[in-house]
Amino acid sequence: MKIKKILLLAAALPLLVSCTKKPLYYNSTAPDIIAFGDSLTYGQGVTQEYSYPSVLAKLTGANVVNLGVSGNTAGQSLQRLYLIGRNKPKMVLIEFGGNDFMQQRPKEETQAALEEIIDYVHGLHAMAVIVDTGGNFEMSPYTKIMKKLAKDKQALFVPGIMDGIFNDRSLKSDIVHPNEKGYEIVAQKVFKSIYPYLNKPAK
């Protein structure tokens, strides 16, 4: 009986491994990390030196290019995808969802736009990183979309950067955006997720 169980486990193991997808990464020698997003990426509420991409640059020692635009939805950002390609990205941090929610954009539209961004990033042989906004329960449908995309597209997923910040007035510059301390926490969360992949060999 024990032998039979062992044989069944051995047969199932390859299936378990095949279902576990690791993030795709390519140009480990490319110099840039691109932060592509909305006002949370731009650093609304603080001066640029305190935006999360600027803090992340200090944490990683890498060149982090801030391509955040306040008010952008995922769909609107497609008009400036080419800006990512103007740089030499090893990794692209994709952060959208807040404006999609506030502007009540169809979730299918948000998902389709995120898919297009991820495909574009992979086409540049860079690693796609989906940065989830989180923050409150109303954003949970977007978190669900992003988790699924990360799994299906083999992108890295950074959970809820606004978790613990959104409802803490001491960490915010206004009702939506972090202050200097809040953005530092955001940068630390992103850094924790991407650090293991910063020096991965090309694949």
The pLDDT value given to residue 9:
41
Phi, psi (rounded to 5 degrees) for 138:
-70, -20
- Domain ranges across the chain: 22-197
For β-strands 156-158 and 32-37, DSSP reports them as unpaired
The superfamily in CATH containing domain 22-197 is: SGNH hydrolase (3.40.50.1110)
Residue 106 zone, left/alpha/beta (φ > 0; ψ -120 to 50; rest): beta
Collect all residues with Cβ–Cβ distance below 8 Å to 19 and sequence separation of at least 6.
none
Q: What is the pLDDT along the chain (203 residues), one digit of tens a residue?
A: 444 443 444 444 444 333 446 788 766 688 999 999 999 999 999 999 999 999 999 999 999 999 999 999 999 999 999 999 999 999 999 999 999 999 999 999 999 999 999 999 999 999 999 999 998 899 999 999 999 999 999 999 999 999 999 999 999 999 999 999 999 999 999 999 999 998 765 55
Give the separation between CA 154 and CA 151, rounded to whole angstroms. Answer: 5
